């Protein structure tokens, strides 16, 4: 396979939408992400799925990922990768979807004993055999309670995946996927992907995990704060928006103004 990498790199610059803070780490992530995007574009072209079909949207928290497999594959963090209108199902691997997301709820205006809340939370995790009790050891997963600036409303936010993923979405660990994975040597590295029915099967399996993770987040919140909570937002940022849209530390919501990308003490 002959490919002018410089030409491809220059071409994918037009498919890179930079909404990042453009600080030093974002600049490093951009150069790395452009290489990953170029490799993806080369694969799509070779498979005749589409040329100039892959786009990367770098969001304000665009940075390098601490996940080695993602970084090696050219997947930075805080971005969306979109493949436009492919005529075949196609999923690049190594971005490692884990159904992680956020639920934001309006809760009754009550005073909470933080230590008691912590103990209750731990009991909820321990008693449900579908919940990964080590979830809060995974980097930045957390729970928080917030007041509106006028003290009239109270909110709770929970960030995590909580579902036992096991091996099913991590294709390098699961024998079921190993025989289905396709590989193409691009820039002296194997580019791994699933295509056609295998890609669709993988996506549907992911959606089952995502649904269960969303239900678990809401279940935890209701057990903590009561059944009368009002769920404002409950969505994933580590996985798929649809089969052609990969979310990497990013939210793509039909109601973006309810999406708690960032909470600031100066915001209402």
Q: Considering the domain boundaries, does residue 159 fall inside one?
A: yes
Q: Write the pLDDT tens digit of every residue in 136-171.
A: 656 677 888 888 888 788 999 999 888 776 667 888
Phi-psi label, residue 22: left if phi above 0, alpha if psi -120 to 50, beta otherwise: left
Number of residues assigned to the chain: 268
184 touches 46 (CB < 8 A):
yes
Distance separating alpha carbons of residues 190 and 173, to the nearest angstrom? 17
Summary mean pLDDT of the chain = 86
Strand-pair partners of 103: 158, 234
The full DSSP string for 150-177 is TSS-EEEEEEE--B--TTTT-GGG-HHH
**pLDDT grade for 193, boundaries at 50, 70 and 90:** very high
- Please check whether residue 113 lies inside any domain of the structure: yes
**pLDDT tens, residue by residue, 235-260:** 999 999 999 999 999 988 766 666 66
**Residue 141 lies inside a defined structural domain of this protein:** yes
Look at residue 128 and tell me if it is in a domain.
yes
The model's confidence at residue 66, banded by pLDDT at 50, 70 and 90, is confident
Q: What is the CATH number of the domain that holds 113?
A: 3.30.70
* 214 in any annotated domain: yes
Q: Quick: pLDDT tens for 16-54.
A: 999 998 999 999 999 999 999 999 999 999 999 988 899
In a domain, 106, yes or no: yes
Tell me, yes or no, whether 127 lies in a domain.
yes
Query: Which of 65, 214, 74, 59 is CA-nearest to residue 139?
Result: 65
Neighbour order of strands in the sheet with 77-83: 16-18, 54-63, 77-83, 245-248, 230-242, 100-107, 154-160, 142-147
C-beta separation of 51 from 45 below 8 A: yes
Question: Which DSSP state fits 5?
Answer: H
Please give the pLDDT value at position 222. 95
* DSSP character at residue 102: E
- Residue 151 sits in which domain range? 100-164+210-235
Non-local (6+) Cβ contacts of 162 within 8 A are 125, 131, 132, 135, 213, 216, 217, 220
pTM for the model stands at 0.88
202 domain residue, yes or no: no
State the total domains in the chain. 1
Q: Are 26 and 20 in contact (CB under 8 A)?
A: yes
């Amino acid at each position: 396979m002959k490919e002018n990498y410089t030409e491809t790199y220059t071409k994918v610059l037009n498919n890179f939408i930079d909404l990042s803070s453009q600080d030093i780490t974002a600049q490093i992530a951009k150069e790395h992400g452009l290489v990953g995007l170029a490799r993806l574009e080369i694969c799509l072209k070779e498979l005749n799925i589409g040329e100039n079909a892959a786009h990367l949207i770098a969001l304000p928290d665009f940075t390098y990922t601490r996940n080695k497999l993602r970084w090696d594959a050219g997947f930075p963090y805080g971005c969306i990768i979109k493949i436009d209108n492919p005529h075949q199902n196609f999923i690049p691997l190594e971005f490692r979807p884990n159904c992680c997301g956020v639920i934001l709820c309006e809760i009754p205006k009550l005073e909470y004993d933080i230590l008691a809340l912590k103990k209750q939370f731990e009991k909820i995790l321990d008693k449900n055999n579908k919940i990964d009790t080590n979830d809060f050891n995974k980097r930045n997963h957390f729970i928080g309670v917030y007041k509106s600036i006028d003290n009239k409303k109270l909110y709770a936010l929970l960030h995590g995946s909580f579902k036992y993923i096991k091996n099913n979405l991590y294709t390098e660990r699961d024998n079921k996927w190993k025989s289905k994975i396709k590989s193409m040597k691009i820039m002296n590295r194997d580019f791994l992907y699933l295509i056609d029915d295998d890609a669709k099967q993988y996506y549907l399996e992911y959606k089952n995990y995502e649904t269960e993770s969303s239900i678990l987040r809401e279940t935890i919140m209701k057990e903590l704060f009561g059944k009368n909570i009002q769920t404002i937002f409950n969505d994933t940022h580590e996985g798929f928006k649809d089969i052609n849209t990969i979310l990497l530390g990013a939210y793509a919501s039909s109601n973006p103004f309810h999406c708690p990308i960032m909470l600031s003490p100066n915001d209402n």
